[in-house]
Structure 1
Amino acid sequence: MVIANHAHPFRELSWSLNEGVNQAASFAVPFFFIVAGYLFASRPLGLGAPGRWARYMRRLLLVFVSWSTVYLLLPLSLTAAQVEELGPWGAYRHYLEGRYDWIMSNRYEFLTQGTSFHLWFLVSLAMAVTLVYVFDRLGIANKVFLVAIPMYLFTIVTRYYVLTPVGIEVGFNTRNGPFVSTLYVALGAALARSSWRPSPRLAWATLGAGLAAQLAEAFFIIEKYGQPSPGPYYIFSTVPFALGFMFVALARPGLGEGTVVARWGLYTLGVYAAHMVMVTLLGRMLPLPPAVSEILVAPLAFLTSLGLAVILARNRFSRRIVI
Structure 2
Amino acid sequence: MSERIYSIDAMRIIAMAFIITIHTDPFRGIGVYGDALNFLIDSSARFAVPFFFVTSGYFFARKTARRDPVRYFAARAASISSIYVFGLLLSAPVFLAGTAVRAGIENRDVVNAVVLKLTEFVSPLALLYYGNSVSEILWFLPALLFSLAIICSLIVFGATRYLVPISLGLHVVGLLGASYTMFVDVPFEVRDALFFGFFYTSLGYALHSSEWRPSSDRSALFLGATVLFGALHVVERYVLGYVLTGETFGHGVYTSSYTIATALVTLSLFLFLLSRPALGARTPLPEWGKYAVGVYVAHPAVLFALETTAEVLAVTGHEIRTTFLWHFLLTPATFFGALLVYIGAHRVGAIEIGGSHLPSVRSIGKYVQRQ
Q: Which TM-score tier does this pair reach, normalised by the shorter chain?
A: 0.7 to 0.9
1:242: which partner in 2?
Answer: 266
Pairing 1:278–2:298 present: no
Farther-moved stretch of structure 1 (133-142 vs 182-191) = 133-142
Please report the TM-score for the alignment, with normalisation by the length of structure 2: 0.77
Please report the TM-score for the alignment, with normalisation by the length of structure 1: 0.88
Pairing 1:290–2:312 present: no
2:315: which partner in 1?
Answer: none
Pairing 1:311–2:335 present: no
Note closer, same or farther for the CA distance 1:302–1:224 as it changes in structure 2 (3 Å cut): same
Pairing 1:167–2:184 present: yes
Q: How is 1:1-323 mapped onto 2 (pairs within 5 angstroms)?
A: 1-13=18-30, 14-43=34-63, 45-46=65-66, 48-74=68-94, 75-79=97-101, 82=104, 91=110, 93-103=111-121, 107-111=124-128, 112-113=130-131, 114-162=133-181, 164=182, 166-170=183-187, 172-198=188-214, 199-226=218-245, 231-285=255-309, 288-292=320-324, 293-319=326-352, 320-321=356-357
Root-mean-square deviation (Å) = 2.6
CA distance in structure 2 between the partners assigned to 1:157 and 1:47 by the alignment: 38
**Alignment check: 8 A CA contact 1:48 1:136 kept:** no
- Residues paired across the two proteins, number: 314
Using the aligned pairs only, state the percent identity.
22
CA distance in structure 2 between the partners assigned to 1:229 and 1:122 by the alignment: 27
CA distance in structure 2 between the partners assigned to 1:233 and 1:321 by the alignment: 29
CA distance in structure 2 between the partners assigned to 1:212 and 1:72 by the alignment: 38
Note closer, same or farther for the CA distance 1:11–1:85 as it changes in structure 2 (3 Å cut): closer
Note closer, same or farther for the CA distance 1:32–1:80 as it changes in structure 2 (3 Å cut): closer
Q: Deviations over 1:125-147 (max 9, x none)?
A: 01111111111221121201232
Structure 1 residue 52: deviation in Å? 0.6
Give 5+ residue unaligned stretches, structure 2: 1-17, 311-317, 359-371
**Alignment check: 8 A CA contact 1:24 1:211 kept:** yes
Q: Deviations over 1:237-258 (max 9, x none)?
A: 0001111221122011111113
**Alignment check: 8 A CA contact 2:50 2:200 kept:** yes
Give 5+ residue unaligned stretches, structure 1: none
CA distance in structure 1 between the partners assigned to 2:162 and 2:78 by the alignment: 26
Note closer, same or farther for the CA distance 1:232–1:68 as it changes in structure 2 (3 Å cut): farther
CA distance in structure 2 between the partners assigned to 1:118 and 1:289 by the alignment: 21
CA distance in structure 1 between the partners assigned to 2:144 and 2:59 by the alignment: 13
**Alignment check: 8 A CA contact 1:12 1:291 kept:** no
Structure 1 residue 205: deviation in Å? 1.9
